[in-house]
Amino acid sequence: MVVKSRCCFLSFAKTRRIPELIALASRVSLATSNEQCLMARRATITTRPLWTCPKCDRQFVNTNMPHSCGRYSVRQFLDGKSADAVSLYQHFNALIHRCGPVKTAPAKTRVGFQVRMIFAAVNKLTDAGLDAHVVLARRLNSPRFRRIEMMTSKCYVHHFRIQSIRELDTEVESWLREAYRVGTQEHLAQ
């Protein structure tokens, strides 16, 4: 039985014995407590401060996350790449930044794009194309994905290759927008 208010609880108390009343009060209190904890957890996931690595200044959702700690830049990643490859990267980067505010998180071998967590990355850039991935909260089937990795039940990494600027179409943009929402961790607050 669900007791919606103190008044209902008192009227229910008149018709029941004390042990039943105590048991019901315990369940009502526990349910309220669980709801409050869940609401607080949801708020905390998307608002708690990010941890900053003291050595490289990268930010992470969790403390002491393993990473390729070092001072890296997009410029270093693009050094030695052809003009066509750099142009492809720049167009992809622009498409990502249309999703909303983004932090660029260059690492040793890739460039990640982060809101709270990294939601997309360029893993490799050559004259053959741009190898990238997006992180989605669901498995999304498309023949354009080369590989899909399930990390958790709410975290799927979708790998793909872009070989020309014209392949940066509305489908890719929709993946990036969905991944951006994952980067905010909204999916964990639901």
**Over the stretch 45-92, which tens digit does the pLDDT of each residue have?**
667 787 777 777 776 766 767 777 788 999 999 999 999 999 999 999
0.85 surpassed by pTM: no
Specify the pLDDT at position 45.
60
| pLDDT at residue number 177 | 97
| DSSP type of residue 125 | E
**In which residue ranges of the chain is pLDDT below 70?**
1-46, 59, 61-62, 64, 187, 189-190
How far is CA 136 from each of CA 115, 178, 180, rounded to the nearest angstrom? Answer: 14, 7, 9
pLDDT given at position 146: 98
Q: What per-residue confidence (pLDDT) applies to 30?
A: 47
CA–CA gap between residue 33 and residue 27 (Å, rounded): 10
Q: Cα-Cα-Cα-Cα dihedral of 126, 73, 104, 90, to 10°? A: -40
Per-residue pLDDT, 9: 42
Question: Does residue 93 contact residue 75 with C-beta atoms inside 8 Å?
Answer: no
